[in-house]
Structures are given as C-alpha cells and as structure tokens.
Structure 1
Amino acid sequence: MSEPADWDIEVDVVVVGGGACGVMTALRAAQDPDLVVAVLEKSTREGCNAAISSGSLAAGGTRFQRAAGVDDSPEQHARDILALSHDEEWAHIVHALCAVAPDVVEWLADELGYPIEIGLDMPRAGMSVPRLHADIGRLGGGRLMAHLRAALDRMPHVAFVDESPVVGVVVDGGTVVGVETVQNGQRQRVRADAVVLASDGFAASAELLHRHCPDIGDPFYGGVSTSTGDATRWLEPLGATFRNMAACLRSGLVVVDRGTRVSPALQFNGAVLVSTDGRRFTDEEAHGYSSMAGILREQPGERAAMIWDATAMATVRETEMMRDCLAAGAISDLPDVAAVGGVLGLTEQETARALAPLPDRRPLVAPFHLAWVTHGVLTTQGGVVVDTDGRVLDAHGDPVPGLYAGGGTVCGLAGPSSDGYSSGNGLLSALGFGWIIGNALAGAR
C-alpha cells in the first residue's frame, strides 16, 4: 500500500491483471466510450490460469442447452454448486454469478463470435445436467484468452500494457485512488477513479500456500508462475476480509512425471483407478477431479493407475488435455488384462477383479490404456470478500471506496474445502465478476 504522490498517468479505470476477469472487465467497461481503461498485466509470457485451463464455461439456462434439449436454469446451477460447496453464507455471490453466466456465454458467441457449443460429452460430478460450454474443436483456454484479448485490442480507449507488474495500491484518506506499477524498470503511479484487482490467487507462493493450505501436502503445481498472491498482501493492510483460504482447485488426474492431466470425463466413461497395492479404492464417478486429489494423496506413493478402454478413449481423444497427454507419451497402450497386470504387478485374476465394473456400470473391454496419476494444485479458491457488485468489503462489511475485485483475488465458489469445487467454477467466477464489474463501471456515468 502506497501513499498519494504525483501521478504519471491518469485514467478512469485501472484493471490489475490481464486474465479472464481483467479482460472481461475492460471489455464491458469499454461499452462507455467516454471511459479510458488501462489493463496492467504482469506478464503474458508467463500466462494466466484461464489460458492453461480447459476453457470450459459453466452456465445454466443458455440457448445452447435449450437447442440440445437440456432443461437447466441459473437457479438449478446455483443449487448444484451450493450442494457441493456447503457454503450457504456465500449463496448470494453464487446466485449473482449464475444469473449472469448465460448472458456471458451468449455474448461471447453472438457479439464476439467465439465458437461455443454445449459439452454434452463432458459429464462432471455434482452437475445435474450438462452445462459446460466449450469451444468447438476443444482447443482450451488459450484459444479463449486469445479471442478476448483480440477483441480488447479493437477498443480505441483501452490500453493493455504487458510486462507491467503492479506493486501496490495507492490510498488517500481511506479511498483507493490508483496503483503503483513498474514499467521498463521504472516505477509509475497510475491515478484512477476505480481500481479493479483481477489478479490470480496465491498457489505459486510457497509461503502463502503453506500458511493457508497446509493439508494439501506437497502436490505437483500445475498453475502459472505469476499466481503469487500480490493482491492478498495489498488488501490485508486495508482491513479487507478474507474467507475459505484453505480451499484450492486441485486435481487428482495429474500424470506422474509428465505434468499433463487426463480428461475428467474418463471416470464417467468406465475408467478405473487402482492403487500400487492392487486395490480399487474409490467409486470414480462419485468425485470431482478436485476432491479426487485428496483421495490420491492418501494412496501408497500418492499415486494410482487410471485404466480405460477404447470406448472411453473415443469420447475424450480430441480434447486439449488428452492431446497433451498423447504428445507427452503419458499413456500406455496395453493389449489385454494380462498386460495390465504386468504393469500393476498383479496376477491376471487379481487384475480382472480390480477392473470389474461397479453395479450398473459398463465393463471395460480390451485393449486398454493406462496412465499413472497423482495429485496436484492448480489455483487457490480462498480470497477477499466482495459484494454482489464486486466491491471489496472491509471488516465491517462496508465497501472500500474505489476498489473492486474479481478472478483469483476473490473468494471462490468451492466453499471451505477443495472438495467443494465444481468444474467450471473458476471461469464462472472470473468472467462473471468481470461482466458484473465492467457493466457497473460502464453505467456509472
């Protein structure tokens, strides 16, 4: 936190972070042609978590769902999230984000021309109906971020400034009035009527992760290096309130020694998890990939073999995750049960027993595919408390004047535990708050 001083630059809105939330905030704020907006990005070379995600957008009640015969609504979407997160205290935020999610998806498709389809082949634990919307061709979050930033480049009154890490906020009499940034090695002060903190969380900070999330152990880190919790450090002196700081977006589908991830749809298409001591230790369909991480951590060697067949492979092969796995040589092809047993160190009979389907599940049929998976952490889910307009709240529940937050800076939707994460929650929160904050800023004049 810095004190007021002479200004090097003055704008109407300064957005800290050029990821999904920051870019969406700027795009929506730019509806007002009289607003001058600056987006300060730490480093596009290092990337953002949205860019390395699957790019799946969770929304209930879209025209894409209706066209596919899927009956859904924002209210049903919110109920599903809260049933998994058990976080009724945050229900007002969940409902606010689910309410705007269909508008975000349809605006991306209709106004920005982004190629979206409903992922009928993307079942997930905790979703009562298919509601993940993915890009046609399944190229992932990198495609989404490139599309959003290209749209931002067409806005004449928006400046996207790369390699411009923000190092603090500037406060005058309790009001946030700007930020301090570093450009080309020189510090600069940027004055703004509204400051929006849209940076990633703190999963790349070993110190913050060990302080707030000691129970996750020492997982593989699959996020970006820029998630260092900078905004958390700036907000603490302002008296901002934080919640659910122990929750993370984790993954129990990280391929050992590769760092890629197998598709979360595999476990809903018959895939089986077998521990190194030959046990089928869980009902694979009963867990999302975040909660699966905690289960994997408890297994011998903190790993297990995931085994699936050609039918399952056909449903996921053309996704970004599986293309990455195949390119990395992360998947073994095995002709029969005996070959699987050879990898697992089991007899053919023991292997057949481990692969036997649970009740009402289809049996796997040779040939098989196998990948050794472990647990990882992708992003944090704890963060600052905001209201339904994205305004940062202090310890008394009052808005900090001049300050908004979204993306990884804000408390997410997983609840107090990583087990409460629902697929698509990350982009729901990031794009949803960007939409809400940007619209509010555009309507402020």
Structure 2
Amino acid sequence: MATPELGERTLEDPTPEVVDVADVTIDVETDVLIAGGGGTGLVAALAAADRTDGTITVLEKSHRLGGNTSLSTGMVPAAGTRFQREVGIEEEPADMARDILEKNDHEADEAMVEHLCTESKNLIHWLVDDWDITLNLVDDFKYPKHSAYRMHAPAGRNGENLIEELSERIEATETIELLKHTPVTKLVADGDAVVGAVAGETHEEVIGAEKVILATDGFAGNRQMVERHCGQIAEALYFGSDGNTGDGIRWGAALDAELACMDSYQGHATVVQGTGALSTYAIIMNGGFLVNENGRRFGNEAKGYSALALDVVEQSGSVAYEIFDERIFEKLEGEFDDFDEAVDLGSYRSAPDIEMLAEKLGCDPKTTADALESYNDAIRSDEPDDVGRVDGRTILEPPFYGATVTGSLFHTQGGLVVDEHGRVRKTDGDVVDNLYAGGGSAVGISGHGSGGYLSGNGLTTALGLGRLAGLHAASTLEDGR
C-alpha cells in the first residue's frame, strides 16, 4: 500500500511515525534539533543559543521560514512590560490571564495560562533587549475582550517583518544551523526517549540529537484531520501555512503523548473574497461592522474574529460585507501592512453614500442603509445595537468604504499537552524524555471550538513556549555544553 503524504495522515493512520534507534544508522549528530522554522522554532533556537555553545539545528520543510507567524500581524500580547509602564499602563499578568480565561469560559489549563502570562513580559524584554527585535506597544486600538493595551507589534504590524528579524539573528549566530527544504518525517526513539529524527526531502538522513523540539505547527492544512476534529469549519477557506499538516502532533501521539482540545481552532471573519487579502480586524474594532447579502447584521463583531468566522461561513454564499468609512480608512492606511496590501490589491470599494456602496458590493441597499442608521442611533443613545454590540463602535459618516469578505480557518489550537518547560507529557502524566513542543504542535490556551480564541493567543504559545523549550532543552544537555 502506498504511503500517504504527510498532509493526508491522521492520528489513526498506520504509517509509522517513530522508528527505533536500533533499526537505523545515525548519519549526523546535533545537540538540539528543532523541527520547524516558524515563530516557535526560531525563538526556540535563539533561546537555546543563550544556554549552550553546542550545535542547534533548525529544519524547515518549506522553501521559506515563518509558518503561521508570518501570516499574522506579529502582535505579541504581554502584561507588565516597561513599554506599558512608559505610557502609564500598570497591568499584572493576572489581568491578562483573566481576559484569556474569561474568553474561553475557563476551558483552558489555568496553570498554563497563568504561567505564560507571567512569562510574557520576560519574552518581550528578552526579544527586544537581548536580540534587538523591533516590538512597539499598540495603544491606538484594542482587540475584542482585551481589557488593556498589551499588544507589542513589529514594524508594519506584520508577522513577516518579525520573522525577517528573527531569521537575521539566526543567521548571525554561529552555533545555529538552519536548513530549508528539509522536512522531518519521523522521530527516532530509544525506548521511551527521543534521540533524534529522520529528515530530508529527496534524500533522508538520520539525525541524532540530545533534545528535540517540535515546532511544526498545527493541522489546519490537513483536510482529513480538520474534518475529523474541527468539522464545523472544514468547508471554509483555509488561510494558514501550507506546512500545517499535523506532523508533530502525530509523532507525539505515537509516543503516547496526551492530546487536548483537538476541536479548538482560530478562524478569521474578514478575508477578502477575490483578492484573498486579510482585511485587518482593526477596521471592525475602529467602528466597522458586517452585514449579509440581505443587508442585515447577523453577529456581534465584538466577540472576536475567530468566533465570528463561523457566523460568516453560515451566511448565504459564505460571504459578508464589511462596512466602514473614510475616517477609518485614513487612520489605518500606512499603519498595517495587511491593510495597505489589501488596498493595493483593490479589495475595497468606496461610494459617497451607503446605498451606492451597497450596490457596488452586492448587498441590499435599503436594508444596509437601515442597518447603518440603527447602528449609529444605538451609539448616539449609548445602547447596545441590534446584535448586542457595545465595544469598538463609532458613528460612521460618508463617504463609505466596504469589502466582500468570507470566513476562514487560520490555524488549529489543539495538540500535545506540555509542562511549564514545554516538555511533552504522556497520558500517564510523565514526560517523553528529551521531547518538547510549542506553537500549534502543543495544545493552546483557547479551550474548545473557535469562540475561546483571544487575539494573540497563538503567538503567546508559539513564542512563549518556544523560548521556554529552548532554554530548558539547552540547559539540560547531558554534557553541559
């Protein structure tokens, strides 16, 4: 029987994910092996380089680095940073943890949420001070359910810029070797301990390693796994990285690792139909709203872009119409690379009045005008609007702008259970020796489904666990290098 491609494998697939060290010959050795060159893997490599002079090897199966981090805004939430204090924000990690847990109805592991929130300021200060990474506090808007300004953004509020700086630091660090086009295909184990991996695109090599960090992201790009675990969003547009095929999760499961929240995912409600550009949710949180083709509001946009994604998918044609005005357009222009790219691609239409805009977009003009009037009236009277929204609103005035958008699947949030150091836990509560995971390979902090995702949760676990795993893996190398 033919071996299924990585992107088609499921947890139930019989294809071996782990080979015994007695059945292979080690071709080359390294100290810390990192599978995946996205945000998790690059941060893990830099953290490991802080603690060892040994060799750190990063293997990326794609031709480019970044994974889902490069597709995101690159905004990293953190509580208690000096950047917050400089503008008068006094926030404790407990405040950030409270927001996360309230968003997911306390379905996430509370201890892990608190741990990552406590470590969040250390992550930001370490990136900026030790590695000269550009991160600036975003204090001009808040994402839904954030009680304070805590997003720290790279240049252009674009994850590609964050990845570019991380990769430059990687290339300048002599102890780190980085290989692209080199997918890890299996882990190598000696009993219950991981001792390396099999990797290679056209010619496989067996790489021995004292520590292995799984940074291969989630399984949103694996249609079979999505249908099995996140069926409600399976038919939506996929907007994530091609490398999200669930590799690390399957490898860990083959070693009896515990899995959690496999039905959890991050969706996005405003991907522009036709151009495929991401219409930043800052449009919504600065006062924009959505209607369906009948011109009617259908969901509270303030619950967040992930929770709203499914509402959009459930509309006729799986589309909605984003309505905003010139004030918002001018405010965001030049602030978000995503927005500027969407503008350059012709994603937005404009008109001097709402009826003309609706006609251009394809939604009912009269009902859309009624929705706008009702929305503005609710703001003037300081009352919840037709969908119960009270946050992030502003009166919209002509001229108006809009786009036709669809709901999408960005990345999954379920995966391997890890401890406070990022070590993979087994179903019996012990750890898999020498094995770590972060980012989409590890279970997130969003609970179940899509509604528990709070903006920034993805990078909180990707970069947070990446740093913790890299530090611990390097500091516990057998020979102390």
Q: TM-score, normalising length from structure 1? A: 0.95
**Residues 1:425 and 2:457 are matched in the alignment:** yes
Instruction: Name the counterpart of 1:60.
Output: 79
Residues 358, 365 of structure 2: 8 Å contact kept: yes
Residues 394, 400 of structure 1: 8 Å contact kept: yes
Residues 29, 35 of structure 1: 8 Å contact kept: no
Secondary structure at the counterpart of residue 365 of structure 1: coil
Residues 263, 316 of structure 1: 8 Å contact kept: no
Residues 277, 300 of structure 1: 8 Å contact kept: no
- Alignment match of 2:101 (pick from 75, 82, 107): 82
Instruction: Name the counterpart of 1:195.
Output: 212
Instruction: Name the counterpart of 2:131.
Output: 112
Q: How does 1:141-180 map to 2 (within 5 A)?
A: 141-180=159-198
Residues 340, 351 of structure 1: 8 Å contact kept: no
Taking the aligned partners of 1:338 and 1:189, their CA distance within structure 2 comes to 64
Instruction: Name the counterpart of 1:243.
Output: 260
What code does the residue aligned with 1:177 have? Answer: V
Deviation at 1:277, TM superposition (A): 1.1
Instruction: Name the counterpart of 2:246.
Output: 229
Deviation at 1:47, TM superposition (A): 4.7
Secondary structure at the counterpart of residue 71 of structure 2: coil
Residues 46, 224 of structure 1: 8 Å contact kept: no
Question: Structure 1's 345 and 436: CA in aligned 2 closer, same or farther, altered over 3 A?
Answer: closer
What code does the residue aligned with 2:197 have? Answer: V
Taking the aligned partners of 2:272 and 2:359, their CA distance within structure 1 comes to 19
Secondary structure at the counterpart of residue 362 of structure 1: coil
| Bigger mean CA deviation after superposition, 104-113 or 205-214 | 104-113
Instruction: Name the counterpart of 2:404.
Output: 372
Instruction: Name the counterpart of 1:311.
Output: 327
- Alignment match of 1:264 (pick from 281, 292, 298): 281
Residues 108, 447 of structure 2: 8 Å contact kept: no
Taking the aligned partners of 2:225 and 2:458, their CA distance within structure 1 comes to 20
Question: Structure 1's 174 and 354: CA in aligned 2 closer, same or farther, altered over 3 A?
Answer: same
Instruction: Name the counterpart of 2:199.
Output: 181
Identity %: 36
Residues 46, 226 of structure 1: 8 Å contact kept: no
Residues 136, 154 of structure 2: 8 Å contact kept: yes
- Alignment match of 1:275 (pick from 269, 272, 292): 292
Q: How does 1:28-43 map to 2 (within 5 A)?
A: 28-43=47-62
Taking the aligned partners of 2:184 and 2:314, their CA distance within structure 1 comes to 39
Taking the aligned partners of 1:248 and 1:148, their CA distance within structure 2 comes to 26
**Residues 1:127 and 2:159 are matched in the alignment:** no
**Residues 1:352 and 2:369 are matched in the alignment:** yes
Secondary structure at the counterpart of residue 203 of structure 1: coil
Residues 46, 225 of structure 1: 8 Å contact kept: no
Residues 85, 417 of structure 1: 8 Å contact kept: no
Question: Structure 1's 46 and 57: CA in aligned 2 closer, same or farther, altered over 3 A?
Answer: closer
What code does the residue aligned with 1:98 have? Answer: C
Residues 122, 132 of structure 1: 8 Å contact kept: no
Secondary structure at the counterpart of residue 322 of structure 1: helix
**Residues 1:338 and 2:358 are matched in the alignment:** no
What code does the residue aligned with 1:268 have? Answer: M
Instruction: Name the counterpart of 1:70.
Output: 89
Taking the aligned partners of 1:180 and 1:17, their CA distance within structure 2 comes to 13
Q: TM-score, normalising length from structure 2? A: 0.88
Deviation at 1:217, TM superposition (A): 3.9
Secondary structure at the counterpart of residue 341 of structure 2: helix
Taking the aligned partners of 1:224 and 1:44, their CA distance within structure 2 comes to 12
Question: Structure 1's 345 and 170: CA in aligned 2 closer, same or farther, altered over 3 A?
Answer: closer
Deviation at 1:345, TM superposition (A): 5.1
Structure 1 stretches lacking a partner, 5+ long: none
Taking the aligned partners of 2:174 and 2:359, their CA distance within structure 1 comes to 62
Deviations, residues 297-338 of structure 1 (Å, cap 9, x unaligned): 222222111110011122322202211211111100111123
The alignment's C-alpha RMSD in Å is: 1.6
| Bigger mean CA deviation after superposition, 16-25 or 129-138 | 129-138
Taking the aligned partners of 2:281 and 2:363, their CA distance within structure 1 comes to 26
Deviations, residues 410-443 of structure 1 (Å, cap 9, x unaligned): 0111111211111111111111011111121233
| Bigger mean CA deviation after superposition, 393-402 or 107-116 | 107-116
Taking the aligned partners of 1:334 and 1:129, their CA distance within structure 2 comes to 35
Taking the aligned partners of 1:188 and 1:217, their CA distance within structure 2 comes to 35
User: Would you say how many aligned residue pairs link Structure 1 and Structure 2?
Assistant: 441
Residues 155, 162 of structure 2: 8 Å contact kept: no
Deviations, residues 61-112 of structure 1 (Å, cap 9, x unaligned): 1111111122212111111101101235511111111111111112222222
Deviation at 1:347, TM superposition (A): 4.8
Instruction: Name the counterpart of 1:298.
Output: 314
Instruction: Name the counterpart of 1:381.
Output: 413
Instruction: Name the counterpart of 2:237.
Output: 220
**Residues 1:322 and 2:354 are matched in the alignment:** no
Taking the aligned partners of 2:368 and 2:264, their CA distance within structure 1 comes to 36
Question: Structure 1's 194 and 345: CA in aligned 2 closer, same or farther, altered over 3 A?
Answer: closer
Taking the aligned partners of 2:225 and 2:368, their CA distance within structure 1 comes to 42
Residues 29, 207 of structure 2: 8 Å contact kept: yes
Instruction: Name the counterpart of 2:43.
Output: 24
What code does the residue aligned with 1:295 have? Answer: D
Structure 2 stretches lacking a partner, 5+ long: 1-17, 383-392
